[in-house]
Amino acid sequence: MTDQCFYHSYDRKEHLHFESKAVHGALGYEPITGAVSFPIFQTATFRHESFDVSTGYYYSRLENPTRQELERTMAILEGGTEGFAFSSGQAANMSLFGLLNKGDHVVLSDDIYGGTYRICQDIFSRLGCEFTYVDMAELEHLKAAVGPKTRMIFVETPTNPMMKVADLSAISAIAKENGSLLVVDNTFLTPYFQRPLALGADIVVHSGTKYLSGHNDVIAGIVVVAGQELAEHFTMQIKSRGNGLAPFDSWLVLRGLKTLALRMEKHNENAAWVAAWLRGHPKVKRVYYAGFEDHRGYGVSLRQTTGFGGMVSLELDSAETVKQLLSRVKMILFAESLGGTETLVTYPLTQTHESIPADIREKLGIHERFVRISVGIENSEDIIRDLEQALA
């Protein structure tokens, strides 16, 4: 069949800066009508012109123009070969670990997102894969954990929720030497602040639910790969598992991406204020924030990122204070998730990290006095004032 459609070639816009790329996407406007907002192609299937002529679109489980615009835009923003949009971050990770064969070994950051841990322990362990969790901020720990069976190294940086920073260039060198794939969950910093593929990663994965869409209104996952072989794996996954993102949800993420740069700047600025204020509060024992000059990974952050992001975790003086904070916040919302315009306070023990076994949680410091704040884009004085009255 010959493919006849305006949508097949697009410009990667290499000449533009990040903010402009995020606004103008891959095709950007719709080329036939000139619609400035890329349309939502709410269709299951596509008509063929004749026996041997098609548009190159067949069935939306495989490929849909709206999802494709998002996938291409993400490939441009992360600097990868191809992008893939999934129905959630979890779906993206399920397809990522679909790269594994029986007997394969994976080394992961020790305080990853609870759902990622669950995929490894409850699903892929059962299929004969092995998982080791290490503090990626200590390269010696990683070197000791990799071996001939290590197919993949999976890194979150900064980690969720302890904000540990990993040196991606150094880890990439270890991965290459060992013949392992390096995967980076870039949910916390987004390509606006950190571009792992340029630092040697093979795959970037995101919960698009968080900063990329940015408005707490959609569940989505993104994968961007370096290289054609990996792209084929994910094309096959979406086709077979049927876990591609729906057209309307793709459009919501695309719309969110247009303001990604502005939002990230504001999240970054507000988080710096909030972290500094919390550090001086008598009921706050410890603040975990990648932007503190005395943070263990500060030097690495300065080298590999252009911002510290909007996440701040803290240890309070008692479980009572935690209960008080979570019940008294007014503007700030007590809810699971992160990366949206609203400031959210989360209790990892019973929310995001409930899947992590108690002894491991305790060792990491995720206990009943630990809370995580996703600092939103409100006025920073309002955020601080709300925390002040809630902690009083």
Residue 213 binds to ligand PLP (criterion: CB under 6 A): no
Interface with ligand PLP in residues 172-191 (CB under 6 A): 185, 187
DSSP reduced 3-state for 49: coil
Closest to ligand PLP by CB, 56 vs 115, is 115
- Interacting residue with ligand PLP among 39, 56, 115, 365 (CB under 6 A): 115
Query: Would residue 263 show up in a list of annotated catalytic residues for this protein?
Result: no
Report the alpha-carbon distance of residue 274 to residue 239 in Å, rounded: 44
**Binding region for ligand PLP (CB under 6 A) out of 28-36, 67-75, 206-214, 254-262:** 206-214
Orientation angle between helical segments 228-241 and 89-97, nearest 10 degrees? 120
Report the alpha-carbon distance of residue 113 to residue 268 in Å, rounded: 21
Minimum CB distance to ligand PLP, residue 381 (Å): 27
Query: Would residue 176 show up in a list of annotated catalytic residues for this protein?
Result: no
Q: What is the residue-wise DSSP string for 77-122? A: HHT-SEEEEESSHHHHHHHHHTT--TT-EEEEETT--HHHHHIIII
Which amino acid belongs to residue 354?
Answer: E
Residue 150 binds to ligand PLP (criterion: CB under 6 A): no
Residue 256 binds to ligand PLP (criterion: CB under 6 A): no
Which member of 7, 57, 113, 117 is catalytic? 113
| Entry field: residues in the chain | 392
- Interacting residue with ligand PLP among 166, 189, 219, 377 (CB under 6 A): 219
Name the H helices within the chain: 18-24, 65-78, 89-97, 114-118, 139-145, 168-178, 190-193, 228-241, 247-257, 260-279, 298-304, 319-328, 358-364, 380-391
Minimum CB distance to ligand PLP, residue 219 (Å): 5
- Interacting residue with ligand PLP among 60, 66, 160, 213 (CB under 6 A): 160
Query: Would residue 57 show up in a list of annotated catalytic residues for this protein?
Result: no
Question: Residue with the closest Cβ to ligand PLP?
Answer: 89
Orientation angle between helical segments 65-78 and 247-257, nearest 10 degrees? 30
Closest to ligand PLP by CB, 219 vs 278, is 219
- Interacting residue with ligand PLP among 67, 72, 210, 369 (CB under 6 A): 210
Minimum CB distance to ligand PLP, residue 336 (Å): 9
Query: Would residue 185 show up in a list of annotated catalytic residues for this protein?
Result: yes
b vs e for 360-373, b when ≥16 Cβ sit within 10 Å of the residue's Cβ? ebeebbbeebbbbb
Q: Give the x-and-dash track for 77-106 against ligand PLP (CB under 6 A).
A: -----------xxx----------------
Which member of 195, 210, 263, 369 is catalytic? 210
Which member of 185, 202, 249, 386 is catalytic? 185
- Interacting residue with ligand PLP among 66, 209, 305, 374 (CB under 6 A): 209
Orientation angle between helical segments 380-391 and 260-279, nearest 10 degrees? 40
**Binding region for ligand PLP (CB under 6 A) out of 145-153, 169-177, 207-215, 255-263:** 207-215
Report the alpha-carbon distance of residue 155 to residue 135 in Å, rounded: 10
Longest dimension (CA), the chain: 74
**Minimal CA–CA distance to 76: which of 21, 8, 23, 15?**
21
Closest to ligand PLP by CB, 57 vs 154, is 154
Residues belonging to the active site: 61, 113, 185, 210
Residues that bind ligand PLP (CB under 6 A): 88-90, 113, 115-116, 156, 160, 185, 187, 207, 209-210, 219, 221
